[in-house]
Amino acid sequence: MSSQKFTPQFYTTSYLPTWCPGCGDFGILAAIKNALSELQISPHSIVIVYGIGCAGNMNNNIKCYAFHSLHGRTLPVAVGVKLANKNLKVITVAGDGDYYGEGGNHFLHTARYNADILSIVCNNRLFSLTTGQSSPTSEIGMISKTTPYGEIKQPLNPIALSLAAGATFVARGAAFEIPHLTDLIKQGLEHKGFAHIDVFQQCVTFNKTQTVEWYKEKIYKLEEAGHDTNNFKAALDKSLETEKLPIGVFYETEKPSYEDGFEQLQGKPLVEQKTNYAKEELMKEFM
């Protein structure tokens, strides 16, 4: 490791994280830097698009090209970046409220496009930056500032949704299982196409139900359970489990990515090309 140019510390900026001590986002940050380091990806070829929330506040903490976008909008920004420069590694980091709620439509469609993007969702099952309100992944009965009598809406199932929408790499990690999460992120980065990693993230301040202990009792690793990651139906079955909660890769498959579908992008990235104003040819139809 010491011979490596890009150590995890290399990706660390001088700006200290602003999370509560014990927040799961620390673990996710560490896993991202580990994965980038292990793959030796140089910071200038990485774009991370961040959402708005505690998770999105990671924007100050990783040395690379960062785009702190709006609440819910990481994915369309990432799609634009990727279309402009297909050579970049494009990652999104956002919370569950941001990604599944405000940005839910983008999630479905970017998965469908199979744009070559890795999405990491810091899923603490709450809106935390806004001091603890119910989110699309809050369980029925969850007490929060907007559900003082308990949540009455069903939570959505990120993994099942992702599979149904057409994501070509679908995984779940846990913020407190850093080596495991690092490995998932590495796989996601190496995957060509839309990779989605939902991450169980403890919010020590507002979520007193889904704590690290609570998760540790429930989780098990798919790779240890003999799960076939190429089997879509098996992946769907696994995504529906609620008693025990599987982490690991649910599903992966190869499909052409969105950018690869464009003939214009077969060679150089778009930013290195020129638009062709072929006047004579373009004028013909107007004569």
Partner 1 sequence: MNNISIKIAGPAGFGIKVTGQILAKVFLRLGADVFAYTEYPSLIRGGHNTYQIDISDTDVSSPSEKTDILIAFTSEALSKEINNINNEAIVICDEKITLDSRLRENDKVVMAPLVEIAKNAGGELMKNTVALGLLLKILNLPLEKANEVLADTFGNKGEVAEQNKKALKEGYEWTLKHLNTKTLKHLNIFLNSLKLLKDKNNDGLLITGNQACALGAIAAGCQIYSAYPMTPATEILHYLEAKQKITNMIIHQGEDEIAVIHSALGASFAGARTACGTSGGGFALMTEGLSLAGQLELPIVIFEVMRPGPATGLPTWTEQGDLSFVLTAGHGDFPRAVLAPGNPADCFKLTQTAFNIADKYQIPVFVLSDKFLGESAYSISAEIFDKIELIDRGRIIKSLKQLNTKTLKSDTSEIFARYKLENDGVSWRTIPGVDNGEHMCSSTEHNENGLRCGEYICNSDEHNEVGFSDEVNEVRKKMVDKRQQKLIELQKKIPLPKIYGPADAEMTLVCWGSMLGPCLDSIKIQEYKNKKINVLHFSYIYPLPNSLDKFLKEFKKLVLVENNKTAQFGKLIRQEIGLEIKDKILKYDGRPIWKEEIIREIEKLKN
Ligand X SMILES: Cc1ncc(C[n+]2csc(CCOP(=O)(O)OP(=O)(O)O)c2C)c(N)n1
Residue 275 lies near partner 1 (rule: CB under 8 A)? yes
> Minimal distance in Å, beta carbon 70 to ligand X?
6
Among 32, 55, 115, 199, binds ligand X (CB under 6 A): 55
Q: Residues 274, 247: contact at Cβ < 8 Å?
A: no
CB atoms near residue 129 (< 10 Å): 18
**x/- track of binding to partner 1 for residues 156-185 (CB under 8 A):** ------------------------------
Q: If phi over 0 gives left and psi between -120 and 50 gives alpha, with beta otherwise, what is residue 269?
A: beta
For 185, the enclosing helix (H) or strand (E) is helix 178-190
Residue 97 lies near ligand X (rule: CB under 6 A)? yes
88-to-17, 28, 66 alpha-carbon distances in Å = 25, 21, 12
Task: Count how many Cα atoms sit within 13 Å of the Cα of residue 163 in the half-sphere of its side chain.
Answer: 23
123-182: contacts with ligand SF4 (CB under 6 A): 124, 128
> Minimal distance in Å, beta carbon 110 to ligand X?
17
Among 4, 13, 40, 209, binds partner 1 (CB under 8 A): 13
Alpha-carbon gap, residue 229 to 252, rounded angstroms = 6
Among 11, 127, 169, 206, binds ligand SF4 (CB under 6 A): 206
> Minimal distance in Å, beta carbon 27 to ligand SF4?
11
CB nearer to ligand SF4: pick between 203 and 235: 203
Q: If phi over 0 gives left and psi between -120 and 50 gives alpha, with beta otherwise, what is residue 115?
A: beta
The residue number with the shortest CB distance to ligand X is 95
* φ and ψ of 195, to 5 deg: -110, 130
Q: Which residues of this protein are in contact with ligand X, per CB under 6 A?
A: 52-55, 71, 95-98, 122, 124, 126-130, 135
Q: Which residues of this protein are in contact with ligand SF4, per CB under 6 A?
A: 19-20, 23, 25, 54, 124, 128, 203-206
